Each structure stands twice: as C-alpha cells, then as structure tokens.
Amino acid sequence: MEAVLSSYLAHLAVERGLAANTLASYRRDLRRYMEHLRARGRGELGEVGEADVQAFLAALREGDGEHPALVASSAARAVSAVRGLHRFALREGVTAHDPAHQVRPPRQLRRLPKAITVDEVERLIAASGPDGAPLTLRNRALLEVLYGTGARISEAVGLAVDDLEDDQVRLRGKGGRTRVVPLGRYARAALDAYLVRARPGLLAHGRGTPAVFLNARGGRLTRQGAWEVLQAAAERAGLDGISPHVLRHSFATHLLDGGADVRVVQELLGHASVTTTQVYTLVTVDKLREVYAAAHPRARQ
C-alpha cells in the first residue's frame, strides 16, 4: 500500500501539478487512511472493500482519541483523496476494483453569500480616503469598479488601459475566459477622474505599465494592495467583514433585487454554469418576504 501511495502522491505533484499545501493535505489524509486500513487488517489495497471506506468516512466525522471530528468540508476533502487513490490504483492495474466508487463525501451546508446594503456600499466608497489625493482617486475608482462590475479582485487588478472602452470594460476571468461588462455612470466617472488626475503622476514613478490600477511606486497594484485598500475603507466606514467577494456578492444580489434575470447576472459574473449563480436567488428571499409583508392584505396582522 505504501508503494501505491507514494506513486499516487508523485502523480499528483508531477502530472496534476497540485499546489504544495493541497498536496500536504492529501498526504496527511491518506496517511490516516493507511492507518485506518491496517487497523482493520488490510495489508493490500486489493483487499479493501466499500465497508472499509465507509467506516473511514464515519471515523472522520466522529473523531477518536487521536483525531478530532472533522467538519463536512474537511471530511469531503479526505474522501476525495481516498477516491482518487483507488481510481489511480485501478487505472494502474494494482487493483481489480474500486471500493470507493460508490462512497459519496458528506454533504456540506450551503453558505449563502454575504451582501451589504446599498447604503453600506455608498458609505464604503465615500471612505476611500482624503479628498483629492491621487491615491484616494485610485481607491475610489477601484471600489466603484469592484461593485459596479462584479469583478473578482484578480480581474480588477489585472485590468489594462486598453480593456476600458467607453461605457464598458473587458474582464479576464477564470480559465482565460473574457467577458465584457457595462460600466455604470458612477464607475465611469470615478475611472475618468483617476485616469486623468492621478494615474499619470503615479505612472511617472515607475517604468511604465499598461495596468489601470497602480501603486505608489508606479507599478501594478497587487491583489494584496487592493485588499488593503478595501480594508482601510471598510475600517473608516465602520463596516466589518468586508472583502472583495462581498462587493461581488452585493453586485449580484442588488441586480436580482432590482429585477435582473438570473441568466444576465450569470453572464455579468462570468459563471460557467447558471447553477453557481442561482445561490444568489436564495439571498433575495428576504426581499420577497419584505415586499409580501408590506403589500399582501392577509400578510398584515
């Protein structure tokens, strides 16, 4: 079993190119699985049955004297590692069957995206920094773009000047997919002010870059730098738990609250499947309840 495990981990590292942290997690989970199998008297992977894999999943969720119980997401990762190991062993001819094929990872609770109100968005953007300062103009433009387009943080900092076209912007998303998203009046005005009054001065400090958003040294603003801009504005606005994804979630939720079709929101967010976007429709149920309570004669008590 150890030889197969070593071969599988090498396959993940070399052929699949898994990140170091992910590989470390898989190695830890599979070492625990090996211990579990040996405790059940299994010396070869070919001896393992579905009951052994199911018992391992139960052990993950229940914990023992040496291991705390795992939450659903961590247990699902461990089961995924086990399923991958058995698929690899079957494909390589080490075993004649895959005992983990029918074992499903535990279902995870669906976390609803967090969204802030329109008033809170306005407070956040208003807290960009001291009026008129070059970095304040940049910060305001960045926040307006994040909220006004639903861009991911990587998409925003990856923008080049050539990606701006009048009242729309070209965003490069996951998997190299490109989409064009409209620019609202507020985002366009904030970008214009930054590009005319602040970016040239920042650019003069660097070596020249096509990036839209620059740091104080004239180079491209990094994801970490953009995160710090957002955190500083959130602190000044007195808002907790704000992240770039919160603005993205707010963008989608406010569109749906305003009557946008979920398919349109899917295109704007750059989701490959509408199923990913439909989670936002659950967020707007509170809005539906609010309207129902205010408008239906039998709702009022």
* pLDDT at residue 295, rounded to an integer: 73
* pLDDT at residue 112, rounded to an integer: 62
Active site positions, annotated: 152, 174, 245, 248, 271, 280
* pLDDT at residue 227, rounded to an integer: 95
* 63-83 pLDDT tens trace: 877 888 888 888 888 999 999
Beta-carbon contacts of 220 under 8 Å, excluding residues fewer than 6 positions away, are 157, 209, 211, 213, 214
* 2-51 pLDDT tens trace: 899 999 999 988 888 878 888 898 999 999 999 999 999 998 999 999 99
In the chain, where does the domain assigned CATH 1.10.150.130 lie?
2-91
The list of the chain residues with pLDDT below 70 reads: 108-113, 175, 282-288, 291, 296, 298-301
Fold for the domain defined by 118-292: hpI Integrase; Chain A (1.10.443)
In the chain, where does the domain assigned CATH 1.10.443.10 lie?
118-292
Say which CATH superfamily domain 2-91 falls into.
Tyrosine recombinase, N-terminal domain (1.10.150.130)
What 3 state SS string does the chain have? CHHHHHHHHHHHHHCCCCCHHHHHHHHHHHHHHHHHHHHCCCCCHHHCCHHHHHHHHHHHHHCCCCCCCCCHHHHHHHHHHHHHHHHHHHHCCCCCCCCCCCCCCCCCCCCCCCCCCHHHHHHHHHCCCCCCCHHHHHHHHHHHHHHHHCCCHHHHHCCEHHHEECCEEEEECHHHCEEEEECCHHHHHHHHHHHHHCHHHHHCCCCCCCECCECCCCCECCHHHHHHHHHHHHHHHCCCCCCHHHHHHHHHHHHHHCCCCHHHHHHHHCCCCHHHHCHHHHHCHHHHHHHHHHHCCCCCC
* pLDDT at residue 110, rounded to an integer: 62
Cβ(226)–Cβ(214) under 8 Å? no
